[in-house]
Amino acid sequence: MKRLKYIMLYAGLLAITACSSEEFSSDETDRDAEVCLAVSVSGSEAASRAGESYIKTAFASEDQIRLVNTKFFGEPTFDDNTIYSYKEKGTEWDEFTPLNENSVTWNDFSPTSFVYMFEAIYYPGNNPFDYVPTVQNSEENFKKADLLLAHHRMSLDERFKEIYLTFHHAFAMIRVEAIVPIGTGGLPQNAIQSASLKNVQTEYKIDYTSTIQNDALRTVTGQGSLTDVTMWLQSKSVNSSDKTQTYIFLGIIPVPQQQIVGTDFVHFKVKVNNTEKTYCFVPDKSISLRQAHVTILRLKLGTNGDLPLLLDAEIKPWTEASAGMILDEEDSSTDNGQTGEGNQPGDQEGGA
């Protein structure tokens, strides 16, 4: 008889638990499960200075981002149902909402252990690509290479809340400052026609299998065959006091797998009296590149075709790409209309 009472009591408890569980699940399903994103770009607060409009520091009305809930470090598939479009600008965070009516909701998400894991990506111009554009000879083409990534985790009790995403620049920027003597014994003004990065990888691979800190940047490395990238002539300025002209070229590439040393890295096309020459920079020491950072190379060119001399090199955060730029020289000008070669297919540090 006692055993029968215990069995009946246990069955009653199970019934109550099951009923409560069903009610909880029903309540959760009935809640507003639409996914809302609050988005920002890492370091944007430090990049509001004039002259840095070409650096992505915030999102705009035409922008789209893609978000995937991954499970057990699986690689995300960013299909059309993962697209979120810009809704409105906030004080610190921009708001994005699903683009399609068939987009996933919170009810489609599954946790890994005790957290929800999210991977997000922003393709410049909303056009997915597997390799960096090789023609970056204008501001528009340069911006097309600036891929952004975000990783975020949320606890189970944060379900249905806004998902806060901090995006990071996935690749490395290279800024080449070419200082050229002009006038007597030097080159004519505007002699440098273009510059290109040589023997670099433009395909890239994102490591989604490693554990990283919340809101950190995933490791991205270059892969595939070597090719050339035409750089953007961002500015050129004349310094009349020391009779030099400074050209600033910018380019974006994935952090390479191989070291950058002992081989052609930057080529300059120079035109004098309708004759073109190529000046080649071959670093004798390894050049370091780092994700979300700009590597600044200051080179001095001669007049007789000698190899450009490296004056100094440094690495700065991406948002400081314009730091130290000469903005008040005489006869300063900006050239965004260089022509280049055709397209070719094609925190991490490389080349050290």
Average pLDDT per 10 consecutive residues for the chain, totaling 352 residues:
43 40 44 88 64 81 95 92 91 89 90 96 96 97 98 97 97 97 89 97 97 97 97 96 96 94 95 92 95 97 79 92 47 41 44 47
pLDDT at 91: 72
Q: Are both 26-169 and 172-322+330-336 of the same fold?
A: yes
* Paired residues of 221 in beta bridges: 205
Task: Please give, one letter per residue, the 3-state secondary structure of 143-192.
Answer: HCCCCEEEEEEEEHHHCCCCEEEEEEECCEEEEEEEEEEECCCCECCCCE
Q: Where are the domains of the chain?
A: 26-169, 172-322+330-336
pLDDT at 307: 78
**Is-contact 176 297, C-beta < 8 A?**
yes
Return the DSSP state at 135. Answer: B
Beta strands in 19-63 (DSSP E): 37-41
pTM of the model: 0.83
Say if domain 172-322+330-336 classifies as CATH 2.60.40.10: no
CA distances from 123 to 147, 181, 343 (A): 6, 40, 18
Q: Which helix (H) or strand (E) holds 226?
A: strand 220-230
- Check residue 165 and give its pLDDT: 98
pLDDT of residue 90: 79
Kindly provide the b/e burial profile for residues 289-325, where b requires at least 16 CB atoms within 10 angstroms of the residue's own CB: bbbbbbbbbbbebeeeeeebebeeeeebbbbbbbeeb
Other C-beta atoms closer than 10 Å to the C-beta of 8 total 10
123 class by beta-carbon count within 10 Å (0-12 exposed, 13-18 middle, 19+ buried): middle
- For 26-169, which CATH class? mainly beta
Q: Please count the residues of the chain.
A: 352
Integer CA distances (angstroms), 83 to 10, 35, 70, 193, in order: 48, 11, 15, 40
